[in-house]
Amino acid sequence: MRDAIRRTRMSETPKRLSLIWPSLATPVVLLFGVVTTGLWMPAVMMFDAPGSIENKALIAFALYSSAGPVASILGLIVGWVRVAMGKRASGLKWMIIIPIIWLVGLLGWLAIVSAFCESRFSCGA
């Protein structure tokens, strides 16, 4: 009888505590979305140069950089849906991994531009 009571008390605590991590990750992911909005603004300002509308690499960079806030919102939605389904660890993972995938893609894009295009978006043009 006492073992059953101990098991019940022990199993309730981790469930309540496991909601702390998604709750702490939410403002961090929201802040990531705000920061990526700030990264998108310089990409839009690059369009004031003559002939920049025909530059496909610049258009691709502006479109991809605008997806940063979308990635953070998508990560939060998918993460909290998974938490609501009872899969708290999976929810926390998806809450963080979707913005990280976007960030790795952005850093890869910038590394390719730096390596092959002499740090200019007019590579091959």
Task: For the chain, give every domain's residue range.
Answer: 2-116
CB 55 within 8 A of CB 125: yes
pTM (2 decimals)? 0.74
Instruction: List, for residues 81-116, the tens digit of each pLDDT value.
Output: 998 898 888 888 999 999 999 999 999 988 888 888
Residue 18 CA to residue 32 CA, distance in Å, equals 22
CB 58 within 8 A of CB 89: no
Instruction: List, for residues 10-51, the tens digit of each pLDDT value.
Output: 555 455 557 888 888 999 999 999 998 888 788 788 888 787
Residue 49 CA to residue 59 CA, distance in Å, equals 13
